[in-house]
Structure 1
């Protein structure tokens, strides 16, 4: 179990480094183009994720095809929004807004799954949005497309998570993973037909780091959930915030003031509390087959 949790930390370290590579592009490529090449490189993880008896066609053919499409579209929107957010914002600020995802999951659980949510989880929702107001400070700071992109990324991730709850018990891991990479390739590839900029050599190197590190993160996360319960592995994603602060300071000279740090702490606390309540209330990951 300890090895599983440690693998979870390694997985999210790989994801954070992947985000740093795409931020190093500084928006020199359209976001959808970066996502396309990142998703294409993500295909390298498929041989490791494919289980015994799995067929390659199950990457795009699902038992519940409609939910596969929902996850594919949500993944493409979420990943493209994330690239836009990391390009425009300090890494820690972008992560803070993206980490609204558990809050959005709670709201969608009520609207879509008709789950009962008690006052404790609603309190976490309110706290999360208070944290957002502290980070953004509308009226005191100039807000831009990067802030909107980060929030859209969190919302898209929540939609994908709801689809996972519904589809997970019926699908194989290769199908769940395939929805993300193939969906992103198809939708961003279509956008590339309108405008395509061939990457330069240094851009290719950054794209390789972005895509291959994300693929490594997916494989490490798979290994983690095979060795430890998902409810123990899931909170390790919040270690990305520590990486974001460190990488932002070292690589990008990101500066965070005290109000922003307080807001980030509120958002992270609300998200972690939501994870704890999910374990006690819905236990959805124990009903979801992802291995």
Structure 2
């Protein structure tokens, strides 16, 4: 159990470092180009994720192909949105808005899965959106494409999570991981054809850090869920916010004022409370193969 949770913390530290590398690009490459090369490098994790009975065609061949396509498209949109968000916003602010994901999952659970949601989880939804208003402070500061991209990333992640709920018990881990990589590769690759810019040496280094660290994080997360229940590993995702504050301050000199810190705390609290209620009410991840 301890090793699994520790591996979870290591996985999300690697994810945060991956996001820092893509932020170091500072918009010098189109976001879809960064996602394309990141997905190419992400394929290096496939040999480690492939199980003994898996076949390579399982990367694209799913039991429920429609849900595979939903995850592929949602992952592509979420990845491109994340790159835009991290390029345009301070890391902590981008993470705070992306962490609306569990709030969106609750809403989609009602709309798509017809689940019953009690007043406690609805209260967390309201609190989460209050936290967003505190972070954004509309009317008191200029809002840009980065804020929209971060919220879109959280929504895309929630759609992917709903598809995982439906497909997880029926699909192999290789298939679930492959949907995200192949979707991002194809979607970003098509967009890249219209405006391709060959990366320079420094950009290649940043892209390598972005893609390989994300692949490493995926492998670590898989190992974590093999050693501890997924519902114990998943909350370690919130450690990304600590890394975001630290990396944002050290690498990018991001400022974190008190209203933003309070808003971030509200969003994280609402998201974590939603997660705890999900564990008590649905326990869906115990039927799924990945977090």
TM-score higher than 0.5? yes
Of residues 13-22 and 278-287 in structure 1, the stretch that sits farther from structure 2 once superposed is 278-287
Q: What's 2:17 paired with?
A: 17
- In the other structure, the counterpart of 2:56 is 56
8 Å CA contact 1:59, 1:175 repeated in 2: yes
Q: How far is 1:96 from its partner?
A: 0.1
What is the root-mean-square deviation of aligned Cα atoms in Å? 0.7
Quote how far apart the aligned CAs of 1:288 are. 1.6
Distance in 1 between residues matched to 2:277 and 2:290, nearest whole Å: 21
Q: Distance in 1 between matches of 2:290 and 2:23?
A: 30
Decide whether the 8 Å contact of 2:133 with 2:263 is kept in 1: yes
TM-score (norm 1): 0.99
**What's 1:269 paired with?**
269
Cα pair 1:171 1:290 within 8 Å, conserved? no
Say if 2:11 and 2:216, in contact at 8 Å, map to a contact too. yes
- Cα distance in 2 for partners of 1:109, 1:137 equals 28
Whole-angstrom distance in 1 between the partners of 2:288 and 2:176: 11
Structure 1 CA distance, aligned partners of 2:121 and 2:47? Answer: 39
- 1:254 correspondence with 2:215: no
In the other structure, the counterpart of 1:195 is 195
Q: Is the 8 A contact 2:230 2:290 kept in 1?
A: no
Deviations 1:117-140 (A, max 9, x none): 000000000000000000000000
Aligned equivalent of 2:70: 70
Match of 1:146 in 2: 146
Alignment of 1:121-160 (within 5 A): 121-160=121-160
Gaps of 5+ in 1: none
- C-alpha distance in structure 1 between counterparts of 2:269 and 2:162, whole Å: 21
How far apart are residue 287 of structure 1 and its match? Answer: 1.8
Task: Please state how far the C-alpha of 1:290 moved relative to its aligned partner.
Answer: 3.2
Residue 190 of structure 2 corresponds to residue 185 of structure 1: no
Q: Which residue of 1 aligns with 2:8?
A: 8
Q: Deviations over 1:90-137 (max 9, x none)?
A: 000000000000000000000000000000000000000000000000
Q: How many residues align?
A: 291
Per-residue CA deviation, residues 33-61 of structure 1 (Å, 9 max, x unaligned), is: 00000000000000000000100000011
2:217 is aligned with 1:223: no
CA distance in 2: counterparts of 1:283 and 1:118, whole angstroms: 15
Alignment partner, residue 106 of structure 1: 106
Q: Deviations over 1:236-283 (max 9, x none)?
A: 000000000000000000001000000000000000001100110000
Q: Does structure 2 conserve the Cα–Cα contact (< 8 Å) formed by 1:132 and 1:263? A: yes
Moved over 3 A (4+): none
CA distance in 1, matches of 2:290, 2:263: 33
Partner of 2:207: 207
Q: Is the 8 A contact 2:99 2:154 kept in 1?
A: yes
Q: Counterparts of 2:135 and 2:290 in 1: how far apart (Å)?
A: 34
Alignment of 1:151-170 (within 5 A): 151-170=151-170
